[in-house]
Amino acid sequence: MNPAYSFKIYNSTAELPENWDNLAISTIFLSKKYLQVLEKSSPDNMICHFFGIFDNTTLVGIAISQFLDLNTLESFGERDKCIKTAVRNIVFRNFGSHVLIIGNNMLTGQNSFALSDMIVKKKAIQTLHAAATELKKIFKSKGVKIHITTYKDFSEEEIRHFAVPEFKNDYQFSTQPNMVFSINENWKTEQNYIDSLSKKYRDQYKRARKKAADIEKRKLHLEDIIALEDTIYDLYFHVAKNAPFNTFFLPKNHFRIFKEIFKDKFLFYGYFIDEKLIGFNTLIKNGEIMDTYFLGYDESIQREKMLYLNMLYDMIAYSINKGFKEIVFARTALEIKSSVGAKPIKMYGIIAHSNEMVNPYMPKIFKYLEPETIWQERNPFKQ
């Protein structure tokens, strides 16, 4: 038997071990560069910590945590004004405003931790639990009580590693799926993709493209992002505020910082009508995977010009042309993403309340925390 692994908690990227990035190969979102983006421009109500897992002195695992203070949010999402939303807001304010996430609340997918091949996974998960417990003590010593601890976003296979005694009383949940678009290896151009669509969805493609004929799409460079920062933020904030549910808002400098640090791996596309920015989307090159990131648009123009759908087609075209294998479209707008060919991947997480009396009711409470989405899956491809 190996002795148990040890851990260290880091407050800043400057403290991280020299060889940290040797383990951050499964995802760019655990790399020092990305963690620096969070350090310089994470949401105001978020505090990030980084965990190192060690076997003696060898770094064998890395992880990220995010503390969210939901009391500081003006809005949890304004779209659904109903009794359920009111109840959810009361639940959050009183029972769950301090949330510790082991993982990344700004992304979809397993961006929580990366482990060396030589590590025993279940032991690593136990060590992660020990690190989270220690971090909660640190917060408590500063007068901050953590109400909810959650580990997210794992595939069916990954969640099995959490079958250890430490999590036996915690509630395992499944949230909205991650929408992933697989690029057929025979597609070399956007036209190959269009040719693979059934008539109904080829017509949808043509209609969307026709509607957006007067929109000019431009790749924006750092100086453009800085010059348009106020407009960009207004467009982002409009979309974020109208989402069904929010736990954070990005700071205004977020896209600028991302571009400064990631350069060509961070793509920012602006959509213009008569030189006026009316929408934007962002993409992150993550190895062979293209990750979609935040976007923004003017709602009135979005509807009329089918702008969102056009953005999805543009992301697909770019990713095919550049030889990527898949696109992570993440959550939200499940049906429209499905209509362009993305498939739902079920994601799992684990959640626990600090009050053991509350925990047995977590399945009921969770229904308020995670709004359910009813949607119909589409298949746009020829059978």
Which tens digits make up the pLDDT trace of 166-181? 999 999 999 889 999 9
- pLDDT of 332: 85
Cβ burial of 365 (10 Å; 0-12, 13-18, 19+) is buried
Measured CA to CA, the distance from residue 344 to residue 290 in angstroms comes to: 16
How far from each other are the two terminal CA atoms of the chain, in whole angstroms?
Answer: 53
- pLDDT of 364: 81
Widest CA span in the chain: 68
* 173 is a domain residue: no
The backbone torsions φ and ψ at residue 266, rounded to the nearest 5 degrees and listed phi first, read -110, 115
Task: Give the residue, 222 or 81, on which the prediction is more confident.
Answer: 222
Least confident interval from 39-53, 64-78, 332-346: 64-78
Query: Can you give the CATH number for the domain in which 69 is found?
Result: 3.40.630
Q: Give the DSSP letter of residue 26.
A: S
Q: What share of the chain in percent tops pLDDT 90?
A: 83
Judgement on whether residues 134 and 280 belong to the same structural domain of the protein: no
Q: What share of the chain in percent tops pLDDT 70?
A: 92
The domain in which residue 216 lies consists of: 179-345
CA of residue 170 relative to chain centroid, distance: 23
What's the number of domains the chain is made of? 2
What's the pLDDT tens digit per position in 52-110? 999 999 999 999 999 999 887 765 445 445 555 665 565 555 566 899 999 999 999 99
The backbone torsions φ and ψ at residue 199, rounded to the nearest 5 degrees and listed phi first, read -55, -45
Q: Are 54 and 118 in contact (CB under 8 A)?
A: no
* 307 is a domain residue: yes
Q: What is the mean pLDDT of residues 123-138?
A: 97
Dihedral angle over CA of 371, 241, 89, 45, nearest 10: 110
Judgement on whether residues 145 and 63 belong to the same structural domain of the protein: yes
Judgement on whether residues 157 and 188 belong to the same structural domain of the protein: no
Judgement on whether residues 153 and 218 belong to the same structural domain of the protein: no
What the block records as the tokens of 225 is 């992002």
- pLDDT of 374: 85
What the block records as the tokens of 140 is 């408590």
Judgement on whether residues 112 and 199 belong to the same structural domain of the protein: no
* 162 is a domain residue: yes
Judgement on whether residues 124 and 212 belong to the same structural domain of the protein: no
Q: Give the DSSP letter of residue 104.
A: -
- The residue among 116, 134, 168 that closes a domain is 168
Measured CA to CA, the distance from residue 334 to residue 331 in angstroms comes to: 7
* 351 is a domain residue: no
Helix (H, G, I), strand (E, B) or coil at 4: coil
- pLDDT of 79: 47
Q: What is the mean pLDDT of residues 322-335?
A: 95
331 has a pLDDT exceeding 70: yes
Measured CA to CA, the distance from residue 217 to residue 322 in angstroms comes to: 18
Q: Give the DSSP letter of residue 317.
A: H
Q: What is the mean pLDDT of residues 361-373?
A: 76
- The residue among 168, 197, 230 that closes a domain is 168
* 356 is a domain residue: no
Omega cis (within 30) before 153: yes
Judgement on whether residues 209 and 268 belong to the same structural domain of the protein: yes
DSSP one-letter string for 248-264? ----TTHHHHHHHHHGG
Measured CA to CA, the distance from residue 33 to residue 35 in angstroms comes to: 5
Judgement on whether residues 302 and 269 belong to the same structural domain of the protein: yes
* 61 is a domain residue: yes
Between β-strands 326-330 and 343-345, what pairing exists: parallel, antiparallel or unpaired?
Answer: unpaired
- pLDDT of 1: 40
- pLDDT of 85: 60
- pLDDT of 96: 67
What's the pLDDT tens digit per position in 142-197? 999 999 999 999 999 999 999 999 999 999 999 889 999 999 999 999 999 999 99
* 359 is a domain residue: no
Judgement on whether residues 144 and 189 belong to the same structural domain of the protein: no
- The residue among 142, 168, 194 that closes a domain is 168
Judgement on whether residues 190 and 297 belong to the same structural domain of the protein: yes
Judgement on whether residues 217 and 142 belong to the same structural domain of the protein: no
Strand spans (E) along the chain: 6-10, 46-55, 58-69, 98-102, 113-115, 148-154, 171-174, 178-182, 216-219, 266-273, 276-286, 289-297, 326-330, 343-345, 348-353
**Helix, strand and coil percent figures for the chain, each rounded to 5:** 40, 25, 35
Residue located via tokens 């597609």: 187
Dihedral angle over CA of 308, 310, 312, 314, nearest 10: -140
* 353 is a domain residue: no
Q: Are 326 and 109 in contact (CB under 8 A)?
A: no
264 has a pLDDT exceeding 50: yes
Task: Give the residue, 75 or 224, on which the prediction is more confident.
Answer: 224
Measured CA to CA, the distance from residue 279 to residue 4 in angstroms comes to: 51
Q: How many helices (H) and strands (E) does the chain have?
A: 14, 15
29 has a pLDDT exceeding 50: yes
Residues 6+ apart with CB under 8 A from 225: 232, 255, 256, 259, 268
Q: What is the mean pLDDT of residues 358-363?
A: 86
Judgement on whether residues 158 and 277 belong to the same structural domain of the protein: no
Query: Can you give the CATH number for the domain in which 216 is found?
Result: 3.40.630.30
